[in-house]
Amino acid sequence: MTLPNLGLLWLRFAVSLAVAPSLLSVPTTEGLKYMEPEHLLESVRNGSLKDGLNVLLIIVDDLRPTLGCYGEDFVKSPNIDQLASHSVVFQNAFAQQAVCAPSRVSFLTGRRPDTTRVYDFNSYWRVHSGNYSTIPQYFKENGYITLSVGKVFHPGISSNHSDDFPYSWSVLPFHPSSERYENSKTCKGQDEELHANLICPVDVDEMPEGTLPDKQSTEEAIRLLQKMKKNKGLFFLAVGYHKPHIPFRYPKDFQKLYPLENVTLAPDPQIPGGLPLVAYTPWMDIRKREDVQALNISVPYGPIPKEFQRKIRQSYFASVSYLDSEVGRLLDALDELQFSNSTIIAFLSDHGWALGEHGEWAKYSNYDIATRVPLMFYVPGKTAPFTFPGERRFAYIDPFDSVAELMVPGKQAKELVELVSLFPTLSELAGLTVPPCCPYDSFDVELCREGPSLARFLNFATWEKDPYSIRKPSEFVAYSQYPRPSDTPQWNSDEPDLKDIKIMGYSMRTVDYRFTVWVTFDPVNFTANFTDIHAGELYFVDCDPLQDHNFYNQTLGMC
Ligand SMILES: [Ca+2]
């Protein structure tokens, strides 16, 4: 196997990082007033909207591709599988940083973390790095009503405590009221008392407000779709679901889909011997939960007891099936309202999640298990034929229906792609001008994109005519990165604040291997020193798909 000249690639990174930006004028949100949706809809209806396609963007929190449509047959995800059966499904899509805010800011602005400079939760990119446009902002400026439901931007400082309203959204973003109870003591333990547990199957009727956040988000999204049906404007509706993010608080019935005796452990539950310590994530957020604390697991490497590992995996899968039922309700309503022939649907997650692989239980790393995400696009008339009048495309499928068969997946794209491509892809699919490629220094450029559009992969005619003309897997590379405060795991290794970042792990995934170098990083000047390498990782995909055998600096024993 021949490796490409990695030095040049890293040098390119190093040079680009060394270029200091000039800070832009600070946008202000002073004087903003809430605008009733009706007023905005009225203004658009009277405007000059061109014909076009609506967009439904579904963003899931911490969902790895553990879905039926990704070959994980034991997971009950019939509604997402049904969407996949009419979509192009990207089998090898990767996030740019495996944690919420940095990943979301990256793909919603179409820029990599080294351009957004958002590596933690404490900076708003418009005042921190550049006044970058976002996907919803671009659609809004092109005449769309843009609507946000649930967790789309990461809430808090990283989206200016407003989900980037009003830049990105036509009306104030919606957050489910019951979200405030996510970390409260709502989980009934074996002692019949309520706890703030990791594993939290619940009776929904007994929950505060008698509901759960994702249920409320589905209901609000459906209400907005009904409103858009009446008003006839083009819409861009983003719906952000919370599950399967921890805690695993879900309707308890979904646990029945995964009897504990049938739940297997991760195939590689040991911390790999050749793993550099800087790469290890100590999964501190898991340890904080009451039921995990009671296990007295040693920090940072102590393994979780096997029986509890099974329970975590059971509840993650149950949360995925609960999520699937909410996605199913949403798509059923979209279909019922006859939007299936006029709406692009994009489905993705912000990053993956380790379920015991490498002895880890979280995101916060550069492994495939943390960076690989589900990604699919449904485009009516393109990825699936238009429906006939009265024909149902996305009728709800009950995950408990034992006769429900695994859907035939749609077109599978195997190329390595990145979430940073979402911005140009949605633009092109909707018929908008694709934002230009970012220049070398783009800190002053409000509208540009750092990833290529993936729309060409949706053109089946080209695939069949000359599949090799556009698809050369060896040419594709997906980049990710993750910061660390130290060479060995400590309390803030998972989520270091910007000022504490001392090391950055830059990772590239090709069709053949994953290569990562952990280098000195200066959080003041945002510079990475590629001559000061703390550690490296090299994993070969064919013989080590789980990435357990680090061949960095090894001259013998190629697998
Ligand atoms: Ca997340």
The reply to whether the predicted model has a pTM over 0.85 is yes
100 counts as catalytic = yes
Encoded amino acid at 535, one letter: A
Numbers of helices and strands, H then E, in the chain: 15, 15
Q: What integer is the mean pLDDT of 25-41? A: 34
Q: How far apart are CA 145 and CA 381, in angstroms?
A: 23
Q: List, for residues 45-63, the tens digit of each pLDDT value.
A: 333 334 799 999 999 999 9
User: Which pLDDT does position 51 carry in this prediction?
Assistant: 74
Å from CA of 6 to ligand 1 middle: 30
Å from CA of 469 to ligand 1 middle: 36
161 counts as catalytic = no
pLDDT at 419 > cutoff 70: yes
Classify residue 467 as exposed, middle or buried by CB count within 10 Å of its CB (0-12, 13-18, 19+).
exposed
User: Which pLDDT does position 458 carry in this prediction?
Assistant: 87
pLDDT at 496 > cutoff 60: yes
Catalytic residue among 39, 69, 86, 100: 100
Catalytic residue among 69, 86, 154, 438: 154
pLDDT at 385 > cutoff 80: yes
Q: How far apart are CA 397 and CA 69, in angstroms?
A: 15
* Residues 311 and 199 sit within 8 Å (Cβ to Cβ): yes
The class (CATH top level) of 40-475 is alpha beta
Å from CA of 441 to ligand 1 middle: 29
Å from CA of 50 to ligand 1 middle: 35
User: Which pLDDT does position 403 carry in this prediction?
Assistant: 61
Domain boundaries, the chain: 40-475
Å from CA of 241 to ligand 1 middle: 10
Å from CA of 365 to ligand 1 middle: 13
- Residues belonging to the chain: 559
Structure tokens at 532: 């000061």
Å from CA of 72 to ligand 1 middle: 21
Q: How far apart are CA 384 and CA 374, in angstroms?
A: 19
* Residues 481 and 366 sit within 8 Å (Cβ to Cβ): yes
Q: How far apart are CA 332 and CA 392, in angstroms?
A: 9
Q: What integer is the mean pLDDT of 112-141? A: 98
Phi then psi for residue 132, to 5 deg, are: -70, 140
Query: Which has more pLDDT, 392 or 411?
Result: 392
pLDDT at 557 > cutoff 90: no
Å from CA of 60 to ligand 1 middle: 8
Å from CA of 1 to ligand 1 middle: 35
CA angle 495, 497, 500 (to 5 degrees): 110
Å from CA of 120 to ligand 1 middle: 12
